[in-house]
Structure formats: C-alpha cells, structure tokens
Chains A and B, each alone.
Chain A
Amino acid sequence: MKNALLFLSILFFSVVISFGSFCEEVAVREWFPYSGIEGLSSVDNVLTMRSVSPIPLLTTRDNIFINASRLKVLEIRLRSNKSYMTGRMFFRRIGDPGFNYNNSFDFQTGLSNIYHRYIIDLGRNPNWFGTVTQLMLSPINDKGSVEIASVSFMEPNIFIMTSVFWQEFLAFERPIPRTINVIFGPKINGVAINVYIYYSILFLSLLYLIFFSIKLKNIKAILNIIIPRIIVICFVFWILLDARILVDQIRFAILNYQIFGGNNFEEKQALSTFQYYRDFYYFLKICKQKLPERALYSLVVPDGYIYFDIKARYYLYPICEIRASDETPDYVIVYDPQKLLKGKDVVPKGYKIYTKCNEAGYIVKRSGSI
C-alpha cells in the first residue's frame, strides 16, 4: 500500500512538472526559404514547401532568442512524401559567425505521407548552450514535398525524455548506402541496446540466484534450476531484439520498394548510381554511345567524387579507363554538374571538345601530341 502511494505520488508530481514545463514555439511565419526550396506557403499554421535539392534549407531571422541552457528538447511535427529521410537543424548562438555542422543535430523522418512527431535531445550537443538567435532547418535530404506543422523547444522532463529514448530506440538504422561493413543497431541514449540487454540478463540471473539460494540449500539443485532459466531469458531477449531489427528490415524493404519498385532495369541502374545525380548514369550511357568500342579514356570529376569513377569504369566497359599513370587516354570524359572544375581540368591541354553529352558533362578528344 505504501509503495503504491509512493508510486502514485511520483507519477502525480512528474505529470505536474511536465505540464509546468516551459515550451517555446518558433512560429510558422518566422521561417523563410534559404536555398533549394520552392513554393513556400503557410496554410492554417502549416508550412508547406517543395524541396528541389538534396539539401533544402529554411532559415529564421537572426532574432529569435532561445534560451538553450533551459530548453534542451526540440519537437518537430512534419510530414513528407519521402520515407526515412535525414533532417538537420543548424543553430547559431550570439557571437557565432555562421552556421556549421558542429552546431547542428540530425533527426530521422518516418514513413511518407504521415505526420510524425520528432523529439530530439539537444543536450547531447555540447555546443547547445547560451542564447540561440537563429535556426536553419533542412527537413529532408532529397527532392520532395514537405509540410511542417510545428517547431517547438521544450524543457526536458521525465515523459519527454522517455519519448526521446523510445524514439531513439525505434529510429530506423539501415545500412549506409554502398558500404558493406556495418549497420548500426538500435541505441538508447547513444549506447548500443546490447549493453542494456546484457545488464538486464545479468540482473535477472542474479535475482534468480538470490531467490533460489534462499529457497534451496543445495548448490547443484540451484544451478539445475537457474541455468535453464538464464538460457530462456537470453533467448527471450534475442527474440525481442530480433523483433526490433525485423522492423528495420521491413522498413528498409519498404524504402527500397518506394525507390526502385516499378522502375525498369535501366532506371534502377540510374537510381542505384546516384539518387541526386541520377543523370550521371544517362550521361555515361551517352558516352558509351559516342565513344568507339575499346577506346581508352580517363574521367575528370571534381574532388571527392570517388564513386563516380568506379561506376564509370563499371558501366563503360569495354571502353576502358586507363589504369597506368604513364598511359595517355584517347578521350577524357568530364563530368561536372555543379561546375566546380577550373583551369586545365575543364579542357585538358592537348585535347579538344569531342562531343557535349548533356548540361553536366562532355567528352574531349586528344588532338596531336601532348
């Protein structure tokens, strides 16, 4: 009876405290398009927009003044026509020269076309303190439509933090595209769920040991009873964790279906090459048509475009990329969708324009000696 009263009191005060928590909403009218956003409008206090870039950005004015030391939880309600995207919120405190990745936090969106409530623990970012004066929000990381119903900052309390942990536990952990080495598993408070499971198993085993040690005096009898129970506990946790992982596997299947389903083989090739620069595949296709079979080429792309080189080699064969630095290619394929190349990379010395494939790139051909 005493314990029940104590529990009810704690629950009551938790509810009172959580209702009394301070909350500050960034009003819909405060948001402005910064880049990659079209058709921004506000209807019934819901912000609707179209993302036309992989990093669509909204920003507020530099005068919102959020008490970061007090408001350590962010709640965003949004929906998009794209599933399982990564959103990112940048913040700028008084005195910060601009936005940067250290002053930001990301969140994962859920299934498409449904309003989701995302709660983010800002306290995990060591730079979240002082007074925040401006925000920049990238709601998704692809082209698509987005609706934002609210963006609010709140004081943490037991219910909000439970929601944060629950949301983190259920966050969609998928394989990082194009890598084959690791998939991040479920976490709580940034720690692998396995740690909590191990402690739970050890704790329950200890409870069994204590309970049966009091009940039985014979050590052999105690072991005979608790060993099967420990194994069963392990299997139960295994199955529970598997059920959680199965959710991610199904989500991943849905995501892949949404991206690739209904497309023909060629479109799938393009999508698997790059979702943002999917024209690279079609660019390579044009190159394959224009270049003579078994020609030797080299590819020029801006720095950091590693995957482009591998994909070009893969799709263009039997047109071969030169593999030794002392070889001189007959053709140079230049792909530069963002116009980042400068100087001799644009048209290498000794080469002249052979054919222009599309807006993003062209082929140059060797002309005489180099």
Chain B
Amino acid sequence: MFLKLLFSAIFFPIIVGYLTVSIISKDDDLYPLEILALSYGIGVGIISFIMFIMGVFLVPLKVSYILLTCSAVFAFPIIICIKNKRFLGLGIKGFKDKVASIKWHELLMLSMISIRILISYFQALIKPVQEIDSITYRMMEAKIFFIEHGLSLNQAQGYFIGPAAQKHYPLNISLFSSWIYSALGTWNDLLVKIIFPTFLLAMAIIFYYSMRRIANRPASLFSTYLLLTLPFLMYHSSISYIDAVVGFYFFSSFVFLLLFIRTGKISHLILSALLAGICTWTKNEGLPLILSDLIVLFYYLAYMNKDESARKIRIFIQYCAGILLFIAPWSVFRYIFRDKIIVPEEIPNFRHLFECFYRIPVIFEFFYRKALLYGNWNIAWFLLIIVIVISLIRKRFHLENIFVLFAIVFGLVSFGSVYCLSKNSWPYLLDGTVQNRNFLTFMPLVVYFTCISVFRKNDNILESSK
C-alpha cells in the first residue's frame, strides 16, 4: 500500500510536468524518455511552487487541496491540449527495433549505467535521512510543512518556515518532500528519499539524449556512463540534499538553451527558462549559475541571430519572465518577511574589495586541490584541461563547446568571487564545507563539454587519425 502511494506521489509531478511540456512544446523532436525525465524535473518545481503560493494564501497544504489547485491551474491548458491534440507522443513505436539493434558493448555500457542507478536507489532507500544539513534544513522544513499543513508562518514559536538559519533558501525540495509525506499520509523520511535518485535518473536520461543529438549511440551511452562515474554525484544522489538537484536543473536548462540556439525553436527556449527558474527556486546558488544562461542567450541574440531587434528583445524578455515566474514570488515573500528571514550576507564596501585580494591565490589553490586531487571527480577536470589543450592545438572550437566552457568558467568565477568577497563564505572554503558541493552544480557540464568535444559527429577527435 505504502509503495503504491509512493509511486503515485512520484508519478504526480510527472503528469503535471508532462502537461506543462505538452503545452509548451508542440514539436515531436523530444524523445519519449526525455519527455518523462523533463516532466519529472519541471513537475517537481511546479508542484512545490503551487504549494508555496497556497501556503502564502494560507490554503492548507493537504493532498485534496493540492490536487484541487493543480487541477484548477491545469484545467484550461488541458482543454486546449485536447482540442488541438497537442499531447506529446510517448509511444514505443520502433522501440523493438532499437532494442534488437543494440550491440554487446552498448549493452555493457547500459548495464554499467543501470548498476549506478540501482546503487543510488538502494543507498537512498536503505536508510532514513541522517546527514546533518538535511535534517537541520530541508527535511526539517518538510516535516514542519507536513505537520502544520502550511508554511508555518506562526513565527511566535521561532519556527517561522523552519527552525534553522537558512530561511532565506528557496523551498522547492522542502515543499515537494512535504508533498510526498502528505501523499503517503505519514511522515516517513526514508521513502521520501526516492526524490533524489529519481533526479539522477532524469539527469542521466537528459544527458544521454543531449549527447545523442550530437554523437552516435555508443558514444552517447559511454558519455552517460562517464557522468555516472563521478563518485560525489553518485553519493549526493542518494542523500537528501539539493546540490545535485541544482545540478540537474542547471544542466537541463543549459542544454535546452543550446538546443534553442541550434534549432531556433521557441519551445526549447521556454523549457530552458522554466528549468532555469526552478534552478533558482531550488537553491540560492542557482542564481549565479543561470546568469551564464542569460549571458549566452544575450550573446546569441546580439551577435548571431539575424531576426528583427524587436523579436530578439521579445525572446530575451520571455526567457527572463520564465525565470522570474519562479523566483519573483519567493523574492517578494523574502522581502515582506525580511526581518524574520535572516539574510546574513554583508555587501562588501569598496575598501573591503581590496582587502579581499589576498584570498585569490588561496581560492585557486583550494579549487585546484578539490578539482584535481581530492574532490571525488575521477579525472574529469584533468580530461577537461586535456581536451581544451587539444582543441587549441587543433584550432577547432565548436561554438556550442565555447558556450559550455563559458558556463563552466563562469560558474567557477561566480563561486570564486563569493568566496573572495563574502565574509560568511570564506571560512566555508577553508574548512572544505561547500566548495565541492558548488562544483557539483556544474559538473554535468564539465563531462558534457569533454564528451561533445571528443565525440561530436563530423568532428570526432577519436576518428581524426583515420
């Protein structure tokens, strides 16, 4: 019974996400599994967002109310979809042929990928939440939301939103976890962890198909296998913390932005905007990350797109609106309750800027040690450097590769600047608390860059000697 409820709870965001993707995308250039993976990510974000709005308006966060609100929100779009027959195909046409054509080495890679996913599910579901940060912040908030059937805006008890210091962090995963509790009808912090390996599975699927558009099937499978060999990503996919989830949203938003640049289809841009918006709605660290999305889009529209200026501006505004849809209500909420949500960060003054310069070499050293030696990233960073050097020697830099590399460097610089300028974050760099987790948010892009540089059709490095 419990398992049925759990699967229903996990299936619900997929339905919500599927409806959203169907509304946005009328093309059938998305693969069925890719639609499901996207649906899960988007569905989680939308459900938690709806729950947040309900909580703000003091609507009880009970299953019946949530279902009712979601039905109300999606009623009109569903009618439009039915009328225009816009539901995306999830058919298994040709599936048999694809299975029959699988070679033994592809099967081997597929089994390696499956083993990783199974290990992740096993590790997540064998034990309840026990990591300090999880029980202090996200899972504590989730329990409070579940028991209070709301956002716990009764600040008299000192439990406004949650009891801990990180009240200025967005509530995506906390609210979605409380949805799982509500659907189960009980607080069970073991089963709720199914959320996290499912994100890993969704990430693997989206990674595979984003590679598949560029490379052949064995190369795409091998690339996906490489992604799942990152030990730290694997570990985070089995614990109830949100850096890997931010990584999922950022990676997905970026590859759909690249897809928009490649195909010019607005639906890809909207999907990217939604995913970027949910990225910021998952963790504050999402905000500096998605700035690279905005910069890449701006560059593309300003220098590469030959459309009219008005259309370009409209596209850019659409993208920003997609992001703001998720982050604006939360920002307004934070502003209204700013005295209760402690935002401890100090904005550095001009003098402080110069005082911080001594930190730069230290930041470089820590980044180097974590990336190349002790950060559990296999040899991903080393191979990234090798691939960059090789690309420079060959003088072949595909534009997409440059965009991905820019996003990686931008991520590094963003987090480096925070450590450099912020009084609060500096100790966390020195004691090794968060830096590796920051890397986790853009590590899928590091592997992606390496793989598209090596395996790209028509410019495959491995075949260059032929």
Contact = CB atoms under 8 A, between A and B. Distances in A.
A177 B158 CA distance: 29
Contacts of A320: 157-159, 163
B132 A314 contact: no
B235 A175 contact: yes
B123 A268 contact: no
B131 to A, nearest CB: 5
Interface of B: 115, 119, 122-123, 126-136, 139-140, 143-144, 147-148, 157-159, 163, 188, 190, 226, 229, 231-232, 234-236, 239, 241, 372-376, 378-380, 382-383, 386-387, 390, 393-394, 432-434, 436-437, 454, 461-465
A227 B126 contact: no
B231 A183 contact: yes
A256 B127 contact: yes
A323 B434 CA distance: 25
Contacts of A230: 386, 390
B339 to A, nearest CB: 14
Contacts of A198: 372, 379, 382
A38 to B, nearest CB: 29
Given A185-B374, A313-B163, A178 B132 contact: yes
Nearest to B135: A314
Contact of B226 (A238, A310, A323): A238
B132 A179 contact: yes
B379 A178 contact: no
B376 A314 contact: no
Contacts of B134: 180
Interface of A: 175, 177-185, 192, 194-195, 197-198, 201, 223-225, 227-228, 230-232, 234, 237-239, 241-242, 245-246, 248-250, 252-253, 256-257, 259-261, 265, 268-269, 271-273, 294, 296, 307, 310-311, 313-314, 317-318, 320-324, 327
6 contacts: A175-B235, A198-B372, A253-B123, A265-B128, A317-B144, A318-B147
Nearest to B147: A318
B453 to A, nearest CB: 9
Nearest to B222: A235
Contacts of A184: 374
A137 B147 CA distance: 48
A318 B148 CA distance: 9
Contacts of A237: 379
A296 B157 CA distance: 9
With most chain A CB atoms within 10 A of its CB, the pick from B135, B188, B236 is: B135
B158 A322 contact: yes
A180 B236 contact: yes
With most chain B CB atoms within 10 A of its CB, the pick from A179, A184, A231, A237 is: A231
B463 A323 contact: no
A182 B235 CA distance: 9
With most chain A CB atoms within 10 A of its CB, the pick from B126, B133, B387 is: B126
A336 B277 CA distance: 47
A361 to B, nearest CB: 20
B123 to A, nearest CB: 6
Nearest to B460: A228
A231 B462 contact: yes
Contact of A269 (B128, B157, B234, B394): B128
A249 B119 contact: yes
Nearest to B386: A234
A231 B262 CA distance: 27
A252 B123 contact: yes
A242 B383 CA distance: 14
B136 A310 contact: yes
A310 B135 contact: yes
B417 to A, nearest CB: 21
Given A245-B378, A269-B128, 10 more contacts: A182-B374, A231-B462, A234-B382, A256-B127, A257-B126, A272-B127, A313-B140, A318-B147, A320-B157, A323-B159
Contacts of A181: 432-434, 436-437
Nearest to A259: B127
B138 to A, nearest CB: 11
With most chain A CB atoms within 10 A of its CB, the pick from B139, B379, B380 is: B379
Contacts of B462: 228, 231-232
Contact of B135 (A195, A246, A311): A311
A261 B139 CA distance: 23
Nearest to B160: A323
A168 B27 CA distance: 54
A125 to B, nearest CB: 21
Contacts of A182: 232, 374-376, 432, 436
A259 B130 CA distance: 14
B393 A223 contact: yes
A228 B374 contact: no
Contacts of B159: 317, 320, 323
| Top 7 closest pairs, chain A to chain B, by CB | A323-B158, A272-B130, A242-B229, A192-B373, A314-B135, A228-B462, A260-B127
A230 B239 CA distance: 36
A256 B158 contact: no
Contact of B122 (A194, A201, A253, A310): A253
A231 B119 contact: no
A153 B123 CA distance: 39
A238 B229 contact: yes
Contacts of A242: 229, 378
Contacts of B373: 192, 194-195
B393 A231 contact: no
B374 A324 contact: no
Contacts of A250: 119
Contacts of B135: 310-311, 314
A272 B126 CA distance: 11
B358 to A, nearest CB: 24
B347 to A, nearest CB: 27
Nearest to B369: A192
A180 B437 contact: yes
A313 B376 CA distance: 32
B119 A253 contact: yes
Given A227-B394, A228-B463, A310 B129 contact: no
A17 to B, nearest CB: 34
Nearest to A261: B126
A231 B241 contact: no
A246 B116 CA distance: 9
A43 to B, nearest CB: 36
